[in-house]
Amino acid sequence: MAVTFTAPVRHAGRRGITVDLAGTGVIVCGGATGGCATALFMARAGARVTLVERVAQPRAIGAGIAIAENGLAVLEALGLGLPQGQPVSAGRITDAAGRTLLAPRGHAPRVVLVRRSTLQGVLHDAIAADDRIDLKFGTELLDATPAGAVTLRQDGEESTHRADLVVGADGLHSRVRQCGDFGAQVRSSGIRYVRMLVTANVATGTEAWTPAGLFGAFAVDGGTYAFASCGTPESSAALDARDLDAFRRHWAANYPPAGRILGAVSAFDDLIVNEVFSVDCARWFDAALVLVGDAAHAMAPNLGQGANSALVDAAVLFDELRRAPSLPAGLTAYQQRRRPAVQRVAQASAQMGRLAEMTNPMGRLLRDRVLLQVAGMLASPKSVGMLLQEPTAVLRGIAQ
């Protein structure tokens, strides 16, 4: 089946003649955080939105997630909240003995921790309630062209669709990105992380940089979200062998709270193992194709800005498109506004990741002494602004 949408019209606005998104055909590929937010913004502007997601029940996937002040502002702009979220009072980093290495000074950005399924539930309830969004879960994107032609497969049947705008919110291995000319560089860091959810209340409320790497544990709705890096030979070997006991023993020897937390994990399959990749695209759009979230800028998780950056992408894409004289102009403005801001955060996240992964005793000693001066720079208002990327007041008002 071929579906053709009407091209957007233009009307007079704040920048002269601007795009009217009403009636614009938008296909959003990816039903996670950035894709859902993009679909909601576009639908509320009157666009005819189709959201395509390969997974049949995406809200059930994942462990925990930190929504920072910028992400919360975007959710507020959409009229959404996280009633079950657990606030993080201070983003403190300690050593294995509990001594503070890094802590925010003055005003610390708001952060709320939730189960990823909680956030997905809020977003999916919102898109399900919007009759301008056609949901296609359990649907695979086969091809997308810069002209806006999209080929999908659902229940073994292929169909062709055409839209004015195709949004690639389909993650690290984005099919939309593969179909366009984005000048993408995808790199592996060689570092693996383990994430887990346990029902026990065993949160430390801190992230520890230990002889075995990084370990953090925070309260979420109904339990504890914990994460650990796996850069040592011992932890890597335990993961490869799927040996939960060996993994627990190694961490307990290097950081005793980790042994208690991992003791609440019942089986190896309860661990979610991810390799850290980075994505850097020279271009964020190619004619009718545009990228948001990890498809454009996957980054190390050490500053907790992956999902938050995807939410900001969605808001800024909407903001620039509605104010531009044409879709190409809006996409250009989106790229110019977002790419440098995200690159700065991605570089800082990678640097923090490298510091956290120092396991050599002399390297850690040098890091911990130098870090005291680095901490002053990271905690400055300018650095907090860099991390959040956009003024939160601007983000809250974007949907008005």
Domain boundaries, the chain: 9-62+117-188+278-390
Burial (0-12, 13-18, 19+ Cβ within 10 Å), 238? buried
Asked whether residue 92 carries a pLDDT value surpassing 80, the answer given is: no
Asked whether residue 325 carries a pLDDT value surpassing 50, the answer given is: yes
Mean pLDDT of 324-341: 95
E strand residue ranges, 55-183? 64-68, 86-87, 93-95, 100-102, 111-115, 133-137, 139-144, 149-154, 157-162, 165-168
Asked whether residue 17 carries a pLDDT value surpassing 50, the answer given is: no
Percent of the chain at pLDDT exceeding 90: 59
Mean pLDDT of 169-182: 96
Place of tokens 């920072």: 68
Of all helices (H) and strands (E), which one includes residue 383?
Answer: helix 381-388
In this prediction, residue 268 carries a pLDDT of: 95
Across 91-100, 115-124, 207-216, 312-321, which has the greatest mean pLDDT? 312-321
Q: CA 325, CA 253: separation in Å to the nearest integer?
A: 61
Q: Give the N- to C-terminal CA distance of the chain in Å, as an integer.
A: 36
Which of the two residues, 107 and 372, has the higher pLDDT score? 107
Which of the two residues, 381 and 170, has the higher pLDDT score? 170
Of all helices (H) and strands (E), which one includes residue 117?
Answer: helix 116-128
In this prediction, residue 11 carries a pLDDT of: 42
Asked whether residue 376 carries a pLDDT value surpassing 70, the answer given is: no
Asked whether residue 75 carries a pLDDT value surpassing 70, the answer given is: yes
In this prediction, residue 373 carries a pLDDT of: 58
- 292: which DSSP letter? -
Mean pLDDT of 253-281: 93
Lowest-confidence region among 50-59, 119-128, 375-384: 375-384
Mean pLDDT of 238-243: 95
Contact 67, 119 (CB under 8 A): yes
Lowest-confidence region among 88-97, 147-156, 182-191: 88-97
Supply angle C-alpha 386, 350, 238, rounded to 5. 140
In this prediction, residue 59 carries a pLDDT of: 64
Q: CA 308, CA 112: separation in Å to the nearest integer?
A: 11
CATH, domain range 9-62+117-188+278-390 = 3.50.50.60
Please enumerate in sequence order all residues whose Cβ is within 8 A of that of 262, keeping only pairs 6 or more positions apart, or say none: 196, 226, 244, 247, 248, 251, 252
Q: CA 36, CA 314: separation in Å to the nearest integer?
A: 9
Mean pLDDT of 72-79: 94
Kindly report the pTM of this predicted structure.
0.90
Asked whether residue 175 carries a pLDDT value surpassing 60, the answer given is: yes
Burial (0-12, 13-18, 19+ Cβ within 10 Å), 284? buried
Give the dihedral of Cα atoms 206, 200, 116, 298; nearest 10 deg.
40
Please enumerate in sequence order all residues whose Cβ is within 8 A of that of 45, keeping only pairs 6 or more positions apart, or say none: 21, 22, 24, 318, 322
